[in-house]
A and B are shown apart, each in its own frame.
Chain A
Amino acid sequence: MAENILVIGGGPAGLNAATMLSELGVKVTLAERDSFLGGNPKKFKYKFLFPDMQPADDVIGKLIKKAETNSNIKVYLSSEVSDFKENGKKFDATIKSPDGNETKTFDSVIVATGFEHFDPARDAKYSYQLFDDVIDIKDLERMMGEGNFVRPSNGQPPKNVAFILCVGSRDRHVGNQYCSRVCCTVSVKQAIELREHFPDCEVYIFYMDIRTYGFFEDLYWKAMEEYDVQIVKGRVAEITSGENNTVICKGEDTLLRGPFEIPFDMVVLASGMEGGPQSSEMAKKLGLELDEHGFLKPQNVTLAPFKSNKEGVFLAGACTGPKAISDSITEGGAAAMDAYIYAVKNH
């Protein structure tokens, strides 16, 4: 009889873990809280993925198709794990779906519950939701996905746009000390897309550090050298409304030690990633440990980044910290391997 493995979360990490396990002949149960597979990239309609501008639908679409067409994977949509108990070295879990409750015994469990976008409205200085023309990177991504690049306030193309980095990241004031890793790269990617779409639109990026790590640096260089995106050093402390339907960014240019109050047509906040309520919920239900940042804590960040503090429960993707989609897919595969080994040993 084949092993049974539960994968919680149908985003990039969960989908890849489920697919790989199914190809090993494992019976996989995939529980997803939303009514669709694909996780945040699907939910917020990401358009193109950095660094090579692959259409997000191609990448996520392939993963979804693999999972949906595989007979070894049973997908439960709009569902949640309502009950979770240890049963020797195995686990009894009840999955609550619109079709009713179903309790099964699993050899091992992969948690891939992902992240939540930081809600910039929580940081009042950015006036998000107060002004129509202050949006964040996930809003812009969705607007681009819908082919709708224009200013939300009046439907006109913007003449100048400011990106503000580190919104909800690296800021004790909002309670998040960590770097969210991908927002810099997403911002320079979107800056390039904006410049491509509106060659006359000036694009500025207000930054403290630009952390386009590894080869993502190429994208940052490209934004400057080929698209004349101007970076300005300094964090913006206040966004107010200005004349002619503009929004004014007030901040300090730390390189020239000069205060500025510059009007823009549109401001894009590079909001970060958070563990979200699902991380603490999983921690409570499954008896896992949370770290000080609100993400699930691996047993050993270097040696066993996919193992949780509980034997037989494995972690993958952005539930353990901010991650790029490619990292999540990699971790899905790695956690699948760990979960498979555990399941085979104790089957």
Chain B
Amino acid sequence: MALENQEKRPVAEKGEHIIARHLIEDDRIEEEKNLVIDGVDVSGRWNTFILSRVDSDFDRSFFREIKDTVVGSRINRCWQCGMCTASCTVTPLYRRFNPRAFIYMMQLGNLKELKKYVDVAWRCVGCYKCSQRCPKQVNPAEMMEALALLIKKYFPEEVESKLKVDENVKKIYEDMILGHGRLDLAKLHISSMQKMGRTKELIGKIEIDAIFKMVKDGRAFSVLRLSRPHNWRKSKEAMENYLKNIKTIEQTTI
């Protein structure tokens, strides 16, 4: 989402006088609308500053913080061979999701760089291929978990703005989980196709054939009549209690 916004953005007002503006990231430009220095008015383009890209510090406190967590305790082992990214399920879909690079940024405490990936750093699907293949047993899959927790801690604003929950999907999920104790894949599929405006594809030839087949062998009815797990009422109560507790904790901390 954030990437799309960046691509569509017209040359921002910020730093618009810089000739090769497209080469410079927004957050590297410092500009004041109205600025007076020593009685001289330097408003507008006269006070445009471009911050250096040069890193001038390795911050090991971040490294130590990660190392103290259970999931991130092996961060010191990583030697950046890239086996994790090479075996990653997500990287081919989101090139910006790169476990190797994330681990490196964590090692050197490069928060400036990490901040750029708030939107994708959560994409790990937990397939654990990386952890199985890692030659140094770093356990990158769980390192991604450590990363997600720290991103939430260090960049709460970015997380808030860049990771907006789709209320529709959230509602479908909550209804299904709380109402039935399991996901209704058919319902999710239909809702996502509707969202993309591809409802017509739902009744293509393949789908119609499949529906006939499923009606014939009876599977269609079990899909429509989504059953509930055993003893569901107790589980449901526990889940609702948990959600309520979380809400009160969030409210009191805020």
Contacts and interface: CB of A to CB of B under 8 A. Distances in A.
A261 B80 contact: no
Given A232-B108, A262-B55, A263-B56, A256 B113 contact: yes
A233 B80 contact: yes
Contacts of A204: 58
Interface in B21-77: 53-58, 60, 63, 67, 76-77
Interface string A216-238: 00000100110010111100000
A231 B60 contact: no
A253 interface: yes
B154 interface: no
A298 B63 CA distance: 49
Nearest to A228: B76
B105 interface: yes
Given A224-B79, A256-B113, A261 B101 contact: no
Nearest to A204: B58
Most chain B beta carbons < 10 A, residue from A230, A231, A232: A230
A258 B104 CA distance: 12
Contacts of B101: 255-256
A260 interface: yes
A258 B55 contact: yes
B107 interface: yes
A202 interface: yes
A51 interface: no
A259 interface: yes
A221 B138 CA distance: 12
Interface of A: 160, 202, 204, 210, 221, 224-225, 228, 230-233, 253, 255-256, 258-263
Given A224-B79, A225-B77, A256 B105 contact: yes
B191 interface: no
A260 B56 contact: yes
B89 interface: no
Contacts of A160: 58
B110 interface: yes
B113 A259 contact: no
A258 B53 contact: yes
B53 A231 contact: no
A169 B63 CA distance: 32
A224 B100 CA distance: 16
Among B54, B77, B105, residue most surrounded by chain A Cβ atoms (within 10 Å): B54
Nearest to A231: B79
Contact of A253 (B55, B57, B77): B55
A259 B53 CA distance: 7
B56 A261 contact: yes
Nearest to A258: B55
